[in-house]
Amino acid sequence: MPTRLLLLADTHVPKRARALSPAVWSAVDEADLVIHAGDWVDVALLDELQARATRLLGVWGNNDGAQLRARLPEVARETVEGIRIAVVHETGGSAGREARCDAAYPDTDLLVFGHSHIPWDTVTPNGLRLLNPGSPTDRRRQPVCTIMTAVADSGVLRDVKTVAVDR
């Protein structure tokens, strides 16, 4: 059964925005699985997403304190529709990222990460798909705030889209 994914990272609520935008909450409601790659900042957003999302897979980021680190792992893994997914906040600089991730996540098909606030979509030489959804609240040097959506379907990740959202 196809699984609709919503990828989030670097929400930084309430430091970069008081709350997630209605467009992001709408995407949460439409997703079968919400994946959050860290930098929540406040445990209240974790509670909100856990209450509203059908399923949630998340990790802590470098801006997340003790409460979030007590409830979330540094690396999360789950197999969805035959796709082996790992989630982590940081992967290091963009130079050499593919080789580092191939070495660090050899039994993974999809790695979702955050930290840079820059959307990223590449495939490593070993076939590992790397996705960073950017940030829905802090665009930094990007023209817009972003999230990603995708569909996991019988071992295939399809319909990957970077979606601009209002802050």
Total count of domains within the chain: 1
Contact 83, 108 (CB under 8 A): no
Tell me the pLDDT tens digit for each residue of 40-62: 999 999 999 999 999 999 999 99
Compute CA distances 27 → 104, 111, 166, whole Å: 30, 20, 13
- The CATH number of whichever domain residue 20 belongs to comes to 3.60.21.10
Tell me the pLDDT tens digit for each residue of 102-147: 999 999 999 999 999 999 999 999 999 999 999 999 998 899 999 9
Compute CA distances 11 → 26, 49, 54, 85, 130, whole Å: 15, 12, 19, 20, 19
Domain that residue 28 falls in = 3-165
The whole-chain average pLDDT of the chain stands at 96
DSSP 8-state class, residue 14: T
Residue 42: closest CA among 69, 3, 73, 78: 69
Tell me the pLDDT tens digit for each residue of 147-165: 999 999 999 999 999 999 9
Segment 21-40 mean pLDDT: 97
Statement: the pTM of the whole predicted model exceeds 0.75: yes
Query: Pairing between strand 110-112 and 129-132?
Result: parallel
Task: Name the packing angle between helices 43-52 and 22-30 (round to 10°).
Answer: 40
CA atoms within 13 A on the CB side of 41: 15
Distance CA 137, CA 134 (A): 9
User: If pLDDT is split at 50, 70 and 90, which confidence band does 91 have?
Assistant: very high
Assess whether pLDDT exceeds 90 at residue 16.
no
For residue 59, what pLDDT is reported? 98
Assess whether pLDDT exceeds 90 at residue 15.
no
Segment 61-90 mean pLDDT: 98
